[in-house]
Amino acid sequence: MRNILTLAIIFFSLKCIGQTYSQSDFTEYPIPKVNSDAWLKLDTSSKGSFMVLEVNGQLRITKDSTLAGKEYAISGGRLLALDLGEWGGGLFFKPDDSLRQSFLVNNKPVNVDNQLEHYDWILHNYPVYVRNLIKGKHLLIAGANTQSLVPCKKEWLFTQGMLVGPNHGWLSQLVMQNDSFTVTKLVDLDAAPKVITVYNDKVFVVTDNGFYRISGGKKETVLDNLFWAGLNPNSIAVVDENHIYVGMHCGYAKADLVKREIKFYRYNK
């Protein structure tokens, strides 16, 4: 489903992932054309969304917990990736030291503030622990809807972009050193990004309707005009470069980037 309101707080330590599913709980389903009757049945289905994980070289499937509002704890505070569609968002830092008022962002001093609390009315239907994420003072590191955030060596990679209006986005790098944050745009994307992961120094990016592989700063479009536009891809599990899984509404996709083909598996219960 297309959710205009999506809170995406990215986490690295996967704990308490909840109920898991077997691949036998899913059946291969013909790839539907976007906006066809078959696609609309998926889009409006109540089966829910599923998240894929790679655990010790194996695929694990759970219920999607993206909307649970998790955040990532780092030294000195927490990173918050916020995507509120037409209402905006950004990549924020919430310092543990509530008395600290200013940090450097791209060598310029930026003050913390509590403007995120203005989003509380948008999140009124979310659990209290989600709404608590935006309370207190935050530092804006990079403005724009932020969909995905992952650690990469000593740095971070994150995606930003917009699905409403011009469908576009970009991949950026975040470097943190002491009280300084440096953001560098790495690659422009042709559609709004959904989720990223890193495998063998390659970055895999799922957008609203495509699949990219980025290596050495060069972007390669591996698959494009994909059926999952509107089915909210939420996770990537890379077992190897021939077996890459993408979790989404109603099931998951399996992509072979060597053969450049994709299959979809729908939850069958």
pLDDT digits (tens, 9 = 90+) for 62-71: 987 654 346 8
Between 256 and 127, the higher pLDDT residue: 256
Lowest mean pLDDT among 113-117, 146-150, 160-164: 160-164
Q: What is the pLDDT of residue 121?
A: 85
Task: Answer yes or no: is pLDDT of 111 > 70.
Answer: yes
99 pLDDT band, cuts 50/70/90, is confident
Q: What is the pTM of this model?
A: 0.86
- Does 10 map to a domain? no
Which residues have C-beta within 8 Å of that of residue 261, sequence separation ≥ 6? 255
Domain count, the chain: 1
Q: How far apart are CA 263 and CA 268, in angstroms?
A: 15
To which residue do tokens 């309370």 refer?
A: 135
Q: Using one digit for the tens of pLDDT, what is the confidence trace for 121-154? A: 887 777 777 788 889 999 999 999 898 899 988 8
Q: How many helices (H) and strands (E) does the chain have?
A: 2, 22
Span 23-28, average pLDDT: 96
Domain of residue 171 covers: 20-267
Beta bridge partners of 55: 58
Measure Cα distances from 22 to 19, 27, 58, 62, 91 in Å.
Answer: 10, 11, 11, 9, 35
Q: For residue 103, what are its two tokens?
A: 């940090």
Give the per-residue pLDDT at 18: 60
List, in sequence order, the alpha helices (H) in 180-265: none
Confirm whether 228 is domain-assigned. yes
Model confidence over 69-84: pLDDT tens digits? 468 888 899 999 988 8
Which CATH number characterizes residue 163's domain?
2.120.10
Question: Angle at Cα 115 formed by Cα 113 and Cα 118, nearest 5°?
Answer: 155
Closest C-alpha to 89, from 168, 5, 151:
5
CA-CA distance, 103 to 129, in Å (whole number)?
Answer: 27
Answer whether residue 237 is part of any domain. yes
**Domain for residue 248, yes or no?**
yes
Which phi and psi (to 5°) does residue 203 adopt?
-105, 125
Question: Is residue 174 one of the residues assigned to a domain?
Answer: yes
Residue 232 lies in a domain: yes
